[in-house]
Structure 1
Amino acid sequence: MARKVIRRYLPDPAAIKEKPALQFLGDLLHDPNLFHLNRHSVSLAFFFGVFFAFLPVPGQMVLAALCALWVRCNMPITLALVWITNPLTYAPIFFATYQLGRWILDAPTLANSSEHNWAWLMEEFSLIWKPLMLGSIITGLILGGISYIAMQLFWRWHVLRAWEHRKLRRKSRDSE
């Protein structure tokens, strides 16, 4: 089943619950829904993990973890997917989401400057934050929705394939 494929890559729930750094969460981590590997829980984890990965805000993982606690989806998968945007990928991803937001808002392009320092960034931030957030939210919603649907379809395909294999095994057993 798809569950077996995913379980190979996830940490053990008991090991997560025993981490001293997570003891402040108390009984919240003892909710079995946070570690379930079923179609609904994993699909929601894919949606929220991808959505929060595309938000250009500090603390993406904290926001994703709080959301996983709130909607009770698989937390390890949600947190792993937030790392789609990492130090190697965040620049091209956020540039693309900024361009999408700039296109939607019909905002002017930024003036090219030879100096890219903190003062320049603070000055230009007032111009780029709206297109960046709009593009990021739209991209996160679209790609999150696509990943939700893809996981639903993958899970269904995997279950149907397992049923077909069982049918074939039963037929071969019955014909012997």
Structure 2
Amino acid sequence: MPDPGTIKNNKHLQLLGDRLHDNNLWHLNRHSAAGAFAVGLLCTWMPIPFQMLLAASLAIFFRVNLPLSMVLVWVTNPITMPPMFYFAYRLGSFLLDKPHHYQHFELSLSWLTNAMSTAGPPFLLGCGVLGLASAATGFMVIHGLWRWTVLRRWKRRRQNR
């Protein structure tokens, strides 16, 4: 973790004011970890550049663990992105009841505009649905695992008395 004094004195980060000094941004607890998973997994499905900046902004806004939110965005990387986004496109096509089209790839602006006009809406819908589903699932799973771990430790303490 970076030194809090270094963060506080960084001239580029001073525009955020005291928001970066919120304990939930830097410490792990049940709520900050579960929220970080929700933010990170939501941003994972956003087909935009600079997903980490969006994850950081949402983590600060929702007061969840900042490093964990930003690390989870790397679920999408150059290896995982093609199958994930293809699945998002197929899901969007299914939800919109539109057949998916395979077009011959051509490196031109006209091909890109045509492909985005036909594949864009199903793709974006699929990304949105999968982002929301991943965020909700991640939040509930981490929240549940954290609670289960704490209850299990309490039970062990009672048995050891």
Alignment of 1:70-149 (within 5 A): 70-113=61-104, 115-119=105-109, 120-149=111-140
1:18 positional shift: 6.9
Distance 1:60 1:116, change over 3 A: same
Q: Is the 1:53–1:140 Cα contact (8 Å) retained in structure 2?
A: yes
1:46 positional shift: 0.7
- CA deviation map 1:70-122 (0-9, x unaligned): 11111111111111111110100000001000111122322431x43143223
TM-score normalised by the chain length of structure 2: 0.87
- Matched with 1:65 is 56
Distance 1:49 1:161, change over 3 A: same
Query: Structure 2 stretches of 5 or more lacking a match?
Result: none
1:55 positional shift: 1.2
Count of matched residue positions in the alignment of Structure 1 and Structure 2: 159
Q: Is the 1:55–1:137 Cα contact (8 Å) retained in structure 2?
A: yes
1:31 positional shift: 1.8
1:13 positional shift: 6.0
- Matched with 2:154 is 163
Let me know the Cα RMSD of the aligned residues.
Answer: 2.2
Please say which of residues 21-30 and 152-161 is displaced more in the overlay: 21-30
Distance 1:15 1:89, change over 3 A: farther
Query: Structure 1 stretches of 5 or more lacking a match?
Result: 1-10, 171-176
Partner Cα distance (1:21, 1:87) in 2: 33
Partner Cα distance (1:99, 1:19) in 2: 47
Identity, in percent, stands at: 38
SS in 2 for 1:82: helix
Q: Is the 2:90–2:100 Cα contact (8 Å) retained in structure 1?
A: no
